[in-house]
Amino acid sequence: MNTKKITIGITDCGEKFRNYNGWIRSMNPDIEVVKLSYEANNAKFVCECDGIVLSGGHDVHPKFYGREDYYPLLDQNNINERRDLFELNVIEQTQHNKKPLLGICRGLQIANVFFGGTLIRDIPSHLKVDWHDQGEDENDSHHHIHVKPGSLLFDISGKEEGEVNSAHHQSADKIADGLISNSNCKEGVIEGLEWKDDIGKPPLLLVQWHPERMMNQESGFAKSIRDYFLKEAGNRK
């Protein structure tokens, strides 16, 4: 695949941005990466990109999915409303310009919110499990997921189940109209979303894990996702 002149926009997430940049460019160092951030206010560059990656990070402000009552229960230092507003605009521009979209962790969550879905405030409180979040040593947790046969994710990964990493305490709750779950773990946490019907829509894949930093980069849940996304981006250049 010729990816030499592909331009990928990645939303800024602080120091971990380098993980996403390195992961995308490991396919081909000539791929151009544009950092999209509320500080630069550069959502206008979405139209110049061939694909967009929504990175991980902050909790989405619950007012954007109609649950203002969650706000006092969350770590308010881990909420950035300016980032939320910026990335909601990025998603809008991505859809308007029909760009491939890959959402990772928070990226899945804010995309689900954009399309009208809601979020689980806190997985440990809701499901009484805590292995999805990072431990005190900030290393990712790991767990198995089940992939729905016939889904886009199944086509991409070629697997009905496998192990992924995990570093989140929130997840999709009500799935937005137009989206469908493509994977879950045994506790019922939604691990991925995609279009229910993709006819006439730009490519979209949302995953709750972090393919950019999985230990096994040859996994169908890491390399295959990146390769699929860059292929779709190249097809739209």
According to the model, what pLDDT value does residue 52 have?
A: 98
**Residue 172 within a domain:** yes
Residue 207 inside a domain? The answer is: yes
- Residues 7, 49: Cα–Cα separation, whole Å: 5
The verdict on residue 129 lying in a domain is yes
State residue 131's pLDDT score: 53
With respect to residue 1, please indicate whether it lies within any of the assigned structural domains. no
Q: CA-to-CA distance for 137 and 209, rounded, in angstroms?
A: 18
Helices then strands, counting H and E runs in the chain, come out as 6, 11
Residue 134: predicted pLDDT = 47
* Residue 105, both tokens: 């962790």
Which of 40, 41, 64, 44 is closest to 52 using CA atoms?
44
Q: Which residues of 170-181 are buried (b: 16+ CB within 10 A; e: fewer)?
A: bbbbebbeebbb
Q: How many CB atoms lie within 10 A of CB 161?
A: 11
The pLDDT score that the predictor gives to residue 137 is 44
Domain membership of residue 2 (yes or no) is no
In order along the chain (237 residues), what is the average pLDDT of each group of 10 residues?
76 97 94 97 97 97 98 96 98 98 98 98 79 54 94 97 92 97 94 97 98 96 98 91
| CATH code of 131's domain | 3.40.50.880
- Known catalytic residues are 105, 210, 212
pTM of the model: 0.94
Q: What domain range includes position 208?
A: 7-235
Query: Which residue shows structure tokens 């996304």?
Result: 229
Provide the domain count of the chain.
1
118 lies in a domain?
yes
Helix spans in 62-182 (H): 81-96, 106-114, 123-127, 152-157
**Amino acid making up residue 189:** V
Is residue 54 assigned to a domain?
yes
Please indicate, yes or no, if residue 184 is contained in any of the structural domains: yes
